[in-house]
Amino acid sequence: MRVLLGVTGGIAAYKVATIVRRLMQDGHTVQVVPTPGSLNFVGRTTWEALSGRPAPSEIFESAPGVEHIRLSQLADIVLVAPATADFLSQLAHGEARDLLGNILLATAAPIVVAPAMHTGMWQNAATKSNLKTLRDRGVHVIEPAVGQLAGEDVGVGRLPEPDHIVDALYAAAKGEKIPTTVDGDHCWGDLEGVRFLISAGGTREPIDPVRFIGNRSSGHQGFALAEAARERGALVTVVAANVFLPLGENISRVDVETSVGLAREMREVAPDADVVIMAAAVADFRPVTVSANKIKKSDDGRLTLEMEQTEDILHSLVKARRPGQTILGFGAETGDENADVLEHGMEKARQKGADLLIVNPVGEGIGFGDVSSRIMILDGKGQQVAAAEGEKMTLAHAILDAVVELRTKGGKKKGSKVRGWVGGAR
Ligand code: CTP
């Protein structure tokens, strides 16, 4: 395999020498392309000596050969390690500042990046958004490890061990999922190893072969929760009801259409889950019979459908809950003449028996799709413990903060304050 190995300017660049060694030992050809800045950390001679070939950095070094195009076409796979926050930003924005940037714009080969940076930079909203863009484009991201950083700080952002990176590269080359932990080298996260089961989207209940009763749920919030949980180290399974969105890597996805299908899949996986989140909008009613043929217009200009109530999946999951399992429900509310959104939400929280109920106002233009929203987080007694506002990813992290708080010692303390929550505890 011909591996094009980009090295960007981080202190962890020294570890990449071991990666070149291992790839060469495994019989691969390695073309190192260091960025000019990275040469402050490891010099060109090291790369050339280890790989046995020139290690160019600048686009103008060999203009006659149109080096960036040649190299981009030669690569079977591209690995960038360490990938700095600045480099991820360049890649996300399609910038081509140096030879590596040009190659990455031109190549059709799979791209694997191994980010390494200070925790603050890793957790910065700009970096998160750049990573999301890259993941959505199919770039494979090897999650950084937790440990000693460049200075005295300890946290997430360390370049994982070279063997882990090489294993992940081989997995990506075969089109497999990238392993998240190797030999106890744990990836970041306060949800490390916690098994999440998340439903997303909206069910469709067939009327006849071409028609169905559906709802406006897009699946954005459920998918954001899945990706945020994964980012924090969880093992995530998503049951997606009619969601037409890509899902980040290393998340298992099961697609369903109807409430019956959703109930079946949730029941199947729930016994093994530590946290179950019912973010899907489930139809409350479905036609009693599904016509085998397309229903024709009638002479009297009317159609009457007999409907029956569907299973309340959240209720069934709560009834079957095993000790230690945390269950979350959503309450999409509009408010009416009897009660406002929060009052309806409080009532629902008390009825549903879930540990947390996420109340979100919905309606024309609010709550659905990839838009900024507002949520209130209630406990099982209907007490508001927090509220948050923002993009779906921001809300997802606020919800996960609540899960972490609930699952850690003292988390169920009344009135405890949770990091990042707008509004705080009541
Ligand atoms: N839910 C479910 N099964 C159903 C209906 C809803 O599991 N058949 C779950 C949803 O996934 C959500 C929660 O119950 O987590 C609340 O859903 P919502 O539609 O807001 O409330 P309903 O229980 O349907 O009550 P109502 O429509 O009367 O407000």
Report pLDDT digits (tens) over 316-371: 999 999 999 999 999 988 888 888 899 999 999 999 999 999 999 886 566 566 66
DSSP-assigned letter for residue 135: H
Label residue 409 exposed, middle or buried (CB < 10 Å: 0-12, 13-18, 19+): exposed
Tens digit of each residue's pLDDT (9 = 90 or more) over 4-30: 999 999 999 999 999 999 999 999 999
For the CA of 314, the closest atom of ligand 1 is 7
Task: Give the Å distance between the CA of 219 and the centre of ligand 1.
Answer: 15
Q: What is the CATH number of domain 195-409?
A: 3.40.50.10300
- Please determine whether the domains at 2-184 and 195-409 fall in the same fold group of CATH: yes
Task: Give the Å distance between the CA of 155 and the centre of ligand 1.
Answer: 39
Average pLDDT over residues 282-294: 97
Among protein residues, the one with the nearest Cα to ligand 1's atom 23 is: 312
DSSP 126-157: HHHHHHHHHHHTT-EEPPPEEEE-SSS-EEEE
Task: Give the Å distance between the CA of 340 and the centre of ligand 1.
Answer: 17
Mean pLDDT across the chain, nearest whole number? Answer: 87
Selection from 143-157, 194-208, 412-426 with the highest mean pLDDT: 194-208
For the CA of 283, the closest atom of ligand 1 is 8
Hey, which of 282, 309, 315, 316 would you mutate to test ligand 1's pocket, going by the most ligand atoms within 8 Å of its Cβ? 282
For the CA of 330, the closest atom of ligand 1 is 15
Ligand 1: residues within 6 Å at CB?
A: 259, 278, 280, 282, 284, 310, 312-314, 329-332
Rounded Cα distance, 173 and 160, in Å: 18
For the CA of 316, the closest atom of ligand 1 is 7
- Using pLDDT thresholds of 50, 70 and 90, give the confidence band for residue 181: very low
> Which are the contacts of 413, defined by CB distance < 8 A and separation ≥ 6?
none
Tens digit of each residue's pLDDT (9 = 90 or more) over 113-125: 999 998 889 888 9
DSSP-assigned letter for residue 76: S
For the CA of 317, the closest atom of ligand 1 is 7
Among protein residues, the one with the nearest Cα to ligand 1's atom 16 is: 331
Among protein residues, the one with the nearest Cα to ligand 1's atom 9 is: 314
Tens digit of each residue's pLDDT (9 = 90 or more) over 21-74: 999 999 999 999 999 999 999 999 999 999 999 999 988 765 555 677 778 888
DSSP-assigned letter for residue 15: G
Any idea which residues carry the catalytic annotation?
A: 215
Task: Give the Å distance between the CA of 402 and the centre of ligand 1.
Answer: 21
Task: Give the Å distance between the CA of 233 and the centre of ligand 1.
Answer: 28
Hey, which of 198, 286, 312, 343 would you mutate to test ligand 1's pocket, going by the most ligand atoms within 8 Å of its Cβ? 312
Q: What is the chain's percent helix, strand, coil content, to nearest 5? A: 35, 25, 40
Average pLDDT over residues 196-225: 96
Token couple for 160: 């994982």
Query: Regarding the domain delimited by 2-184, which CATH topology (the fold level of the hierarchy) does it fall under?
Result: Rossmann fold (3.40.50)
Q: Residue ranges of the domains in the chain?
A: 2-184, 195-409
